[in-house]
Amino acid sequence: MQSAERAARNESVFRELNEQLDAAASGLPDGVRGFVCECANIACTAVVAVSAGDYEEVRRHPDRFIVAADQSHVEPAFEDVIVRRPTYWVVQKKGTAGEIAEDLDPNS
């Protein structure tokens, strides 16, 4: 199992990548886009379909991340699933992992 710090750092890397992908797609209709899974597994290559509006809503909270809709993308020791959609889930970091995720969020 991973440490809380490593999990938060890995997910923050994916979040930064998604921020760049979202910025590159600006000007497109508010449709569904592909985002990389923001799970703690740095080797994960899953892409999830999320509307730009839904992604922005999740990003308003520095301790929340979008992951593939499968329990294998969740670290229960460090996060809880708070939203379940057919193509993705939203997890919220807890404890130290939540604090680290907030510290690493460029928008905080």
H-only helix segments in the chain: 4-24, 52-59, 95-104
CA-CA distances (angstroms) from residue 99 to 50, 55, 104?
A: 25, 21, 9
Q: What are phi and psi of 13, to 5 degrees?
A: -60, -45
Taking only the tens of pLDDT, the chain with its 108 residues reads: 468 888 888 778 878 777 766 665 555 455 777 788 999 888 888 888 888 889 899 999 999 999 999 999 999 999 999 999 998 999 999 998 888 888 888 776
CA-CA distances (angstroms) from residue 85 to 31, 43, 56, 61, 78?
A: 16, 23, 15, 18, 20
| 40 C-beta neighbours (distance < 10 Å), count | 27
